[in-house]
């Protein structure tokens, strides 16, 4: 009887479609179709070009903690002697803000050098802000000299050996990217 069934299956498959032949054909043809469709699409798509992002400038404080001289006598102190800007690909602009720490009776600003990169210093109480600009350069050094204006009232005038502390925040903008750094400075009255 099994011979008869096998004979029927064999003879039925030879002359037409059977479920077994259809499933077998679909199983072999689907991966081929998918591969044939996917390969040209992958080959035709271009590799995306990464968009360059501007490299922010780096700011290095020079001489942090060094002895500094103020324009005018009667005081000394320590702090930065300048700062350096690297990777400058466009015009450099920025500010140096000097903020007192605790109670002080003197305001400190940056003395404008002869080169003219620093503009006039403005004061808000004992805090000062000095703006600066410079044409493009791959490395620029800004030397810094300080000036101080102290209270003159007999009750608040600094006494010899009084030390006032400040934080200098240097903000630099190059090609629309701003970076900033901070450093400490102090003034000692003689």
Q: Are residues 76 and 15 in the same domain?
A: no
The string of DSSP codes covering 121-180 is EEEETTEEEEEEEE---SEEEEE--EEEEE--STTTSPPTT-EEEEEEEEEEEETTEEEE
pLDDT computed for residue 81 by the predictor: 92
Q: How long is the chain?
A: 190
Structure-model confidence comparison of residues 40 and 112, the more confident one:
112
Q: Is this structure's pTM higher than 0.75?
A: no
Q: Are residues 13 and 105 in the same domain?
A: no
Residue at 50 is within a domain: no
Residue at 184 is within a domain: yes
Q: Which is nearest to 143 in space by CA: 89, 186, 84, 96?
A: 84
Q: Are residues 25 and 65 in the same domain?
A: no
Which DSSP symbol is given to 65? T
Residue at 52 is within a domain: no
State yes or no: pLDDT of 62 exceeds 70.
yes
State yes or no: pLDDT of 189 exceeds 50.
yes
Q: How remote is the C-alpha of 143 from its chain's centroid?
A: 23
What is the distance between the alpha carbons of residues 32 and 119, in angstroms, rounded to a whole number? 73
pLDDT classification of 72: cutoffs 50, 70, 90: confident
Residue at 185 is within a domain: yes
pLDDT computed for residue 152 by the predictor: 92
pLDDT in tens, 75-101: 889 999 999 988 767 788 899 999 999
Q: Are residues 108 and 185 in the same domain?
A: yes
Residue at 179 is within a domain: yes
Residue at 51 is within a domain: no
Residue 95: partners with Cβ closer than 8 Å, 6 or more residues away: 129, 130, 131, 132, 170, 171
Residue at 141 is within a domain: yes
How confident is the model over 151-180, as a mean pLDDT?
92
State yes or no: pLDDT of 144 exceeds 50.
yes
Its domain, for residue 9, covers 2-44
Structure-model confidence comparison of residues 28 and 167, the more confident one:
167
Q: Are residues 116 and 177 in the same domain?
A: yes
Q: Are residues 30 and 106 in the same domain?
A: no
Q: Are residues 73 and 127 in the same domain?
A: yes
State yes or no: pLDDT of 27 exceeds 60.
no
pLDDT classification of 69: cutoffs 50, 70, 90: confident
Q: Are residues 77 and 147 in the same domain?
A: yes
Q: Looking at residue 151, which CATH number applies to its domain?
A: 2.60.40
Domain count along the chain: 2
């Amino acid at each position: 009887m099994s011979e008869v069934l096998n004979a029927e299956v064999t003879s039925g498959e030879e002359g037409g479609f059977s479920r077994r032949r259809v499933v077998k054909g679909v199983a072999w043809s689907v991966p081929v179709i998918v591969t044939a469709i996917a390969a040209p699409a992958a080959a035709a798509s271009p590799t995306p070009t990464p968009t360059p992002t501007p490299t922010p400038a780096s700011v290095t404080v020079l001489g942090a903690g060094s002895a500094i001289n103020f324009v005018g006598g009667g005081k000394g102190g320590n702090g930065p002697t300048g700062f350096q800007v690297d990777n400058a690909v466009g015009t450099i602009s920025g500010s140096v803000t000097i903020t007192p720490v605790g109670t002080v009776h003197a305001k400190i600003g940056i003395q404008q050098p002869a080169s003219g990169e620093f503009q006039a210093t403005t004061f808000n109480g004992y805090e000062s802000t000095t703006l600066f600009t410079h044409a493009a350069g791959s490395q620029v050094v800004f030397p810094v000299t300080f000036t101080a204006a102290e209270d003159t009232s007999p009750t608040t005038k600094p006494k010899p050996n009084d030390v006032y502390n400040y934080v200098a925040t240097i903000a630099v903008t190059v090609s629309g990217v701003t970076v900033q750094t901070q450093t400490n400075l102090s003034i000692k009255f003689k």
